[in-house]
Structure 1
């Protein structure tokens, strides 16, 4: 049976050779594949957003996510944090991660309990197995020295995630000045993204969603005004 189009895209986009930890200093990045190929799939907006993020088309991802940045759209809120992580806005990432730390998707990704999804895309699963576990990668030697013996295995998901963000913060300046990104951080980033994909694929499915307006989630007026000022880029591909 021929693979679905999104599976071929994932194989290309979830590759260490094409995955940068940060989009800057070249921003906006040139997408890896034509973004219209992603939008033409008419996937659930959460899945489409994630593919745009992987494709480094952050404006198109942001256009979708700003329509879904309040409860109960926790998956989209989490992706909003990941988008800002790749932008390099790590303080914003920490805020979004804390907002969704008790959600099913965040706990599934950062619990450290295997893949936790009962299957999924073969390419994604193989990619995960080639990496260290997300729980292990999110702790550096320095973290281990400063932590009490045995505490790493007891870390709650938000602590694991923020430990990873702290490592990215330390690596951000060297990477932007031209140093090669540590492989362990790239692997953890890809592991997080592949786990989010599997969770959202199982929840939303991959059937076309032609009318996406019912996915829109309103927010408080104050937060909406703030969000409007944070929009990057143009209006993306999907109409709401």
Structure 2
């Protein structure tokens, strides 16, 4: 599976949902399509749809994985908990290097933009895609 295939699947599941605006939280866990075996991928899907609680539930048993720490940082950034987001990103520096993104810089941009523009939303989605692409490659 590729990131593009996953995104097409997610768009078909919830075609009216616009993901990845900062602070978009709250899609109920029951509404999130999670037909994937990998808990990290399921957590990423919950994050995509703004279901922070569902993502947290998936990530808790994965705390030793740097990919999970990175995703945990994304959750806290979306909640506006910037210090905590950066804590988790520091736990996942190896992942940030692998995907070529500075998550703390993105966090700073979100914090400085109470009304985010499309470029920032695109960069946040690109970050999510890069993390998911890495995980899909790891899974083979």
**Pair in the same fold by TM > 0.5:** yes
Name the residue aligned to 2:90: 98
Alignment RMSD:
2.7
How many correspondences in the alignment? Answer: 135
Contact 1:16 1:186 in 2 (8 A): no
1:34 aligns with 2:10: no
Instruction: Structure 2: state its 5+ residue gaps.
Output: none
Q: Distance in 1 between matches of 2:37 and 2:21?
A: 24
1:8 aligns with 2:2: no
Please say which structure displays the higher CA radius of gyration: 1
Name the residue aligned to 1:164: 106
- Of structures 1 and 2, the one with the larger relative CO (CA 8 A, separation 6+) is 1
Instruction: Structure 1: state its 5+ residue gaps.
Output: 111-156, 176-180, 206-240
- Cα 1:194–1:16, aligned 2, differ >3 Å: closer, same or farther? farther
TM-score normalised by L of structure 1 = 0.50
Write 1 or 2 for the structure with the bigger share of helix.
2
Deviation of 1:33 after TM superposition, in Å, equals 8.5
Q: Distance in 1 between matches of 2:78 and 2:71?
A: 11
Deviation of 1:95 after TM superposition, in Å, equals 0.6
The equivalences for 1:119-198 within 5 A come to 160-171=102-113, 174-175=114-115, 181-198=116-133
